[in-house]
Structure 1
C-alpha cells in the first residue's frame, strides 16, 4: 500500500458504512426484471434514454490494471502483482480480460497472467481499475463511457497516468465519451440496473472532489450522466481512508430490490465504521428503489479477524468487494473457513447459474481494496 495514513480502507475489522441521508426526488415507471441468466434488463433508461446497467448483466470484457509503481506499493509490489495475476487468470478462464500495463511492463505482466488474459500497453499508476476506467452506460443501442475525471481520490495519490485511462480506453475501443463536471470513482456507485443508484455522500459531495457543489447539484448531474432516476444517499465517512468511504465495501445489489450489507464480526468492539453500517441497515430496510419497491437487506458478517491470513491496519476483510462476472462470481477467501464457506453459500443462493470462485487476495486487501476495486466490467448489448 502507498501510505498507511492514506490507505484505501483504514480499518481491518470493520468497513466504511453510512446512514442514508436522503432519497432521490423522482421515481421511474415500473421496469421489467432482468433475465435470470444474467442478460440485459429490458426496462427503459432515464429521461435521456441512458441506462446504467447492473453488474450481473452480459459483459463484453473485464478491465484490470497492472500495479506499476514501487513509490505506491514499496516492498509489497511483488506480492500484489501475484494477487492481480491470479485474479486476472481466474476471470480470464471464464470471460475476456483486458489488463492495462505500462509498455515497459507489458511483457512481464503477460507472462505472469498467462494466455487467457490480453495485456495491452497503456500507462497506469496503480491497480484500481474500478475507479479509473469509465462508467459504462447504454444509450441508443450503443455502449458509451462516462468519464468521471479521476483525480487520485482528491489528489491523495499520484495519478498522472490513471487520470488518462478513461479517455484512452474509450478511444481504443471506439466508444463515445460522455463528459460530466463531476469528479468521482467507479467504487462510489452501486446500481440495480433499473434506475436506482446508491452512493456515499462523503466520497462525492466533498471539497476534495467537487468543491462548491451541493448534494442536490451533484445528484442532478449524476442522474443526467448515468440515466438513473432515484438516488439513495449514504452519509459515508470523510477522511478515514483514501476513498472517503466508497460504497462497494459496504453494500452491493445482488438482484433488483435485494442488497447484501456488510456486518462486523460478532463481538468486535463498536466503532465509527460498525455504527455507520448499523445506520445503513436501519434506513435501507425501509427504503424503496426506483420502482417503488422495498429493498430487502441481507447481512453478511466479516470473518474472524483472528483467523484470517492477511494482516495490516488497512486490511479489508469485507466480503462485499466481490465481482460478478459473466460465468463466475469472484469472492475473497480470507482464511476463516467457516466464514468463507458461509459467504460462498450466500453467493450461490443468489447466483445459482454462476460458479463461485474464491480467490486469495491478501496483498490487495492489505492495501485497502478488494476484488471489485481491481476489476471493471464493460457491458454488452444484445
Structure 2
C-alpha cells in the first residue's frame, strides 16, 4: 500500500522493483529494525591496500545488464529495455559500456543499444539492476584492481536470482581480476562511499534478517569496512518493508567528495514515510563527521513535485539523486516537473563543474522503482 501524503494524495514508493515476490520474502521484508540510535559508528580498521574509490574517479568502463524476463516485467518489458538502451547509448558517448545479456537476447540488445555498446552473451542475468548484482571494484593507488561481491540474495529472497547471484564473480573472472566475497549480504545500491574511509547506509536494508539474520550492527560494520576499505559507517534508520530494497541509500543520499554529500529533499508539505526518512538522513548526515574527523558539508537537492511529474504510478521513484557519474558527464533523470527538472540540472552542473549533465526520460524504469545509478556499475581505472 502507499501512504497518503499531507495533501491526501498517495505518496510514491521508491525503488519498488517490478518483480514476482515470494510470500516468505514479503514476510522477511516486514521485519523491522528496532534500534533507534542514529549517526556515525566506529568500525574495524580498513585493510591495507585496496579500497573502493569515489565514483568521480576515471573509469575504464560501465557495466550494465539487459532485462528479458516477462515474468518480472510483464507488458513493461519493452519500455524498460528501451530505457536501458537509452542509458547505455548515452554513457557510451563518454566511456565504454559493456552490457551483460542472456544468450537468447544478445541480438535484441545489440540492435537496441547500437554498435558503440559492447554486449556479452557469456554472463547470464535475471534482471537489469547491475548496481546491486555486479562486482564492486577496488583500487590500491598503485595500478592494482580487484573486486568484491556482496552476496546478492534477491533483496532478501524477494526475487529469483540464481543468475544474478553469480554476476559479480563472473564479471571479475572475465576481466581476470581477483575476486573476494564480502562477509556480509547486501547490494551495491545499499552502500555509499566517499573513497576516503567513510561509508553511509540504512539499517533497514543491511541490518535486516532477510539479509544478515545472525549478525549484529558491529559485525556488519566491520564486514562493510573490510570490504570497502573504510573505517567509519554513518547509519540512517531508513524505511523497512515498504519497497523491495528496504530503502537503498543511493535514492536519497550521495557522497560528492570526502567531507561533502547531498540529500534529496521532499517538498515541505510532504509528510509520508519517505519524506520523513529523507529529512532524518539530512539531519544525521549534517551532524556527522567523516573518517578523518571533519564535519560533512551537506547540499540539499530538491526533489520534484509528484503532482507535476509525468507518471501517475504510485510506485514511481523520482530520484534525481540516483544519478550516475561517468567520464566527463553526469547522467541523471528528468520527470516532467519542468521547474524541478531544470533546478536539478543546474544543481548537478554546479556540483560537477567541467562535466556535461545529461537528463534522460527513463519513466519506464522509474515505474519499476529504479533509476540510472541502479542499472550501472563503474569499473575504475587502476
Aligned counterparts of 1:373 and 1:79: Cα–Cα separation in 2: 16
Question: Residue 12 of structure 1 aligns with which residue?
Answer: none
Q: Provide TM-score, normalisation by structure 2.
A: 0.89
Q: How does 1:28-177 map to 2 (within 5 A)?
A: 46-121=46-121, 122-139=123-140, 141-177=143-179
| C-alpha displacement of 1:256 | 2.1
Aligned counterparts of 2:210 and 2:253: Cα–Cα separation in 1: 24
Q: How does 1:190-339 map to 2 (within 5 A)?
A: 190-268=192-270, 270-339=271-340
Contact 1:248 1:372 in 2 (8 A): yes
Contact 2:39 2:288 in 1 (8 A): no
Give the match's secondary structure for 2:82. helix
Aligned counterparts of 2:66 and 2:312: Cα–Cα separation in 1: 22
- Structure 2 unmatched ranges of 5 or more: 1-17, 24-34
Give the match's secondary structure for 1:24. strand
Give the match's secondary structure for 1:330. strand
| C-alpha displacement of 1:332 | 0.3
| C-alpha displacement of 1:260 | 1.3
The Cα offsets for residues 161-212 of structure 1, whole Å up to 9 and x where unpaired, read as: 1111011101101010012231110001111111111111111111101111
Contact 1:248 1:321 in 2 (8 A): yes
| C-alpha displacement of 1:142 | 1.4
| C-alpha displacement of 1:367 | 0.2
Contact 1:182 1:221 in 2 (8 A): yes
Contact 2:255 2:261 in 1 (8 A): yes
Contact 2:43 2:222 in 1 (8 A): no
- Structure 1 unmatched ranges of 5 or more: 7-17, 29-45
Aligned counterparts of 2:43 and 2:214: Cα–Cα separation in 1: 24
Aligned counterparts of 1:175 and 1:210: Cα–Cα separation in 2: 27
Do structure 1's residue 358 and structure 2's residue 375 form an aligned pair?
Answer: no
Aligned counterparts of 2:97 and 2:132: Cα–Cα separation in 1: 17
| C-alpha displacement of 1:23 | 1.6
The Cα offsets for residues 111-161 of structure 1, whole Å up to 9 and x where unpaired, read as: 100111100112111110000001111236311111111100011011111
C-alpha spacing 1:312/1:355, structure 2 compared with 1 (3 Å): same
Contact 1:249 1:318 in 2 (8 A): yes
Do structure 1's residue 25 and structure 2's residue 25 form an aligned pair?
Answer: no
Q: Provide TM-score, normalisation by structure 1.
A: 0.89
Contact 1:65 1:129 in 2 (8 A): yes
Q: How does 1:178-189 map to 2 (within 5 A)?
A: 178-189=180-191
Do structure 1's residue 371 and structure 2's residue 372 form an aligned pair?
Answer: yes
Contact 1:19 1:234 in 2 (8 A): no
